[in-house]
Amino acid sequence: MAKDEMVWDLSQLVESTDPASIQKKLESMVSEAEKTRRTYHGKIKDLDAKDLLELLEKKDDYLLKFEGTVKYCHLMYSADSTNKIARQLNDNVRMASMKARQALAFIDIELGKLLAEKPSLVTDPILAEYKHYLEKMLRRVPHMLSETEERLIIMKDKNGIDAWEMLQSDWLSTRTFDIELEGETKTLSYGEIIGLYQSPNRNLRKQSNQIVYENLGKDEIIWASALRAVCEDHLRMCKLRKHPTPMTQSLIANDVDHKTIDSLMSTIEKHASLYQRYLRLKAGLMGLGKLANYDIVAPLPNTPDTNYTWKQSCREVADAYMEFDKEIGDWVKEMFERRHIDGKVRKGKSSGAFCASWLAGKSAYILQSFHGKMGDVYTQAHELGHAIHAYLGSRAQKPSNLEIGSCIAETGSIFGELLLTERLLSKAKTKEEKQAILATVLDEFGMAAFQVSARVFFEQSMYDEMKRGKFLDGDTIAKLWVKARNKIYGESVDWLNVMKWEWTMKSHYYLANYRFYNYPYVFAQLFVFALYQLYKEQGESFVSKLRKLLAAGSSRSPRKLGAELGFDITEEKFWEKGMKQAEEFIDLLEESL
């Protein structure tokens, strides 16, 4: 039987696909971790630069040695969770990984202590390749508590503050909603009813929003209690950990600083009118005087129903990358030829799409469910951008330098989407096609850059009010939400009254110890739009700059990477470049009318 080109070939990841030999490899992964523990436990504090280099290199080699086997088990399971062997291997790999992690957990703790005692190690030339890795670790040190305290916090959080997130997610996954569909009352789960938000039928969009948020609002007392508890806990932990602001923890995790994020958010606020201009244009395209909230990401009514075969999609995406850079285009083709992309739709396959890098193989594997829609072609371009990031990174960096934070991780992927946009626009035959492409890009930009910014403003305002001693009940929180939302949308959208409860369903707000998860989305979107603008200004000479940036992985901070492009990302001037790119797309849309 011929191999199906839409099904990936995972056998490249392992020496043998025999489950017994895979299990053996997993066992040796655990025993090697335990051996490392016996060698180094309690001794890291005495290491000099040379010994430390040896340890860090050992840690990286260890990762590369077992990466293929671990990926094989995970990927096989995500492709088909109904496969018996896959289920067994997934179980085995989870158990082995947990044991290995436990055995090696001491390294970070002891390394933190070593760096606190001898910060000069960070700049030691012997450790040059690990400089930023160590810098990032050192930045965390002043905020670490004692081992006993840290363990106590984890233990008490499990049934304490972490329970709110579970409650919220249980609520969403168990409630049902009654809605009239084609003359019949249907009872839908949350996952099902939110699918109607993007329905071409405007009344269904309105009804589904009304029903969901009305029900969420009925339990406002629960959501307000939960949010208060999570936020108050965070403020107390900030004090204990000596974080100067509620955002500090997130800034450290994302390898950025206050000045950068302040100037990013201020650029957004100043350009809210640009987004509003797009929303008014979209209202016109939809034949409406003004958009309602349930129209914001709705499809345009005249969107042509173009279908793509797997081959056509592969060609469009590969050519889009090829026009940018020949070698990158060849790597994209290689991803298809070596069958590293699983696009087949099947039962038991995990939903959504992802790209898993395979550093040891200097490559990656992609999963998606390909239905032949334009959105699927975009998903392919997006995930292949991640793959290119992995191709370049794994050729230039040690694994420790490929722990790429959320601000930079989407650079290759969003850039790839823009390359595809350029190509599809140049081939579009009708104005409806052009408009559909532009609306896809601008809807995504609007959500990631602007809508998410409202959430940043909202989160900040909650801490500000709490510090002022204000009690946050449901109504007060709803008012803060509406205020933050209006900062972005102004008068450009009509909102259903129940949308004041929109904050209740954002699961991130209930995640303890994960505050300000939001601005990296804004950063990533505007960062890549700015890069794309630079590409258009500089043409071919920009290609090597982007390659260098992607090859850097996490070996330099986002600020440093910006500086290498000739920009200071702590200044609004840089972010305005991203806005300029968005404005060009909006102009194009306006011209197409």
Question: Closest CB to Zn ion among 313 and 413?
Answer: 413
Q: How far is the CB of 385 from Zn ion (least distance, A)?
A: 8
Binding flags for Zn ion, 534-563, as an x/- string (CB under 5 A)? ------------------------------
> Whole-number minimum distance, CB 254 to Zn ion, in Å?
15
In the complex with Zn ion, the residue whose CB is nearer, 29 or 341, is: 341
Cα(393)–Cα(380) distance, rounded to whole angstroms? 20
Least Cα distance to 419 among 528, 303, 339, 562 occurs for 528
Sequence letter at residue 210: Q
CB of 354 to Zn ion, least distance (A): 8
Residue number, 68 or 416, with CB nearest to Zn ion: 416
Question: Which one of the spans 185-193, 322-330, 412-420, 445-453 is the region binding Zn ion (CB under 5 A)?
Answer: 412-420
Minimum gap (Å) between residue 387 Cβ and Zn ion: 11
Q: Give me the least distance between CB of 521 and Zn ion, in Å please.
A: 10
> Which range touches Zn ion (CB under 5 A), out of 189-197, 413-421, 488-496, 558-566?
413-421
Question: Smallest gap, in angstroms, from Cβ of residue 106 to Zn ion?
Answer: 33
Taking the C-alpha atoms of residue 113 and residue 103, their distance in angstroms, rounded to an integer, is: 18
Q: Are 570 and 257 in contact (CB under 8 A)?
A: yes
Nearest in space to 529 (alpha carbons), one of 434, 442, 433: 442
- Least distance to Zn ion from the beta carbon of 69, Å? 25
Least Å from the CB of residue 382 to Zn ion: 6
> For Zn ion, which is the closer residue by CB, 40 or 445?
445
Three-state secondary structure along 120-170?
HHHHCHHHHHHHHHHHHHHHHHHHCCCHHHHHHHHHHHHHCCHHHHHHHHH
Q: Rounded CA gap, 87 and 530, in Å?
A: 44
Nearest residue (CB) to Zn ion, 399 versus 520:
520
Cα 466 vs. chain centroid, distance in angstroms? 29
The interface region with Zn ion, picked from 70-78, 366-374, 407-415, 548-556 by CB under 5 A, is 407-415
Q: Pick between residue 115 and residue 404 the one whose CB is nearest to Zn ion.
A: 404
Q: Tell me the C-alpha distance between 401 and 207, whole Å.
A: 48
Contact between 413 and Zn ion by CB under 5 A: the answer reads yes
Q: Which of residues 155-194 bind Zn ion (CB under 5 A)?
A: none
Q: Tell me whether residue 293 or residue 357 sits nearer to Zn ion (CB atom).
A: 357
Measured from the CB of residue 377, what is the shortest distance to Zn ion in angstroms? Answer: 15
- Kindly state the number of chain residues that form the binding site for Zn ion, as judged by CB under 5 A: 1
Sign of CA dihedral 259, 400, 127, 408: negative
Q: Rounded to whole angstroms, how far apart are CA atoms 458 and 463?
A: 9
CA–CA distances in Å: residue 350 to residues 313, 416, 446: 21, 23, 27
All residues at 6 or more sequence positions from 339 whose CB lies less than 8 Å from its CB, including other chains: 3, 5, 7, 8, 9
Which H helix or E strand runs over 478? helix 474-489
The least CB distance from residue 439 to Zn ion, in Å, is: 20
What DSSP element (H or E) covers 185? strand 184-189
Phi, psi values for residue 495, rounded to 5°? -110, 140
The CB-of-447 to Zn ion minimum distance in angstroms stands at 14
DSSP reduced 3-state for 364 = strand
Contacting range for Zn ion; rule: CB under 5 A; set: 10-18, 368-376, 409-417, 545-553: 409-417
- Span near Zn ion by CB under 5 A; candidates 86-94, 284-292, 306-314, 405-413: 405-413
Structure token pair of residue 29: 């992964």
| Residue closest to Zn ion when measured from CB atoms | 413
Binding part of the chain for Zn ion, among 79-87, 156-164, 237-245, 411-419 by CB under 5 A, reads 411-419
Report the C-alpha gap between 592 and 491 in whole angstroms: 25
40 vs 365 by CB, closer to Zn ion: 365
Sheet of 363-367, strand order: 341-342, 363-367, 354-358
Q: Is 368 in the site for Zn ion (CB under 5 A)?
A: no
State which residue, 413 or 533, has the beta carbon closest to Zn ion: 413
> Torsion over CA of 163, 166, 168 and 170, rounded to 10 degrees?
-140
Looking at the Cβ atoms of 185 and 351, the one nearer to Zn ion is 351
Terminal Cα distance for the chain, rounded = 51
CB of 406 to Zn ion, least distance (A): 10
Please identify, using beta-carbon distances, which residue of 446 and 474 lies nearer to Zn ion.
Answer: 446
Regarding 525 and contact with Zn ion (CB under 5 A), the answer is no
- Cβ at position 410, least distance to Zn ion in Å: 5
Query: Nearest 5 degrees, angle CA 231-CA 473-CA 475?
Result: 125
Closer to Zn ion at the Cβ: 260 or 413? 413
Which of 381, 472 has the CB closer to Zn ion? Answer: 381
Contact 72, 18 (CB under 8 A): no
94-117 burial, b at 16+ Cβ within 10 Å, e below that, comes to eebbebbeebbebbeebbbebbee
Site residues (CB under 5 A) for Zn ion? 413
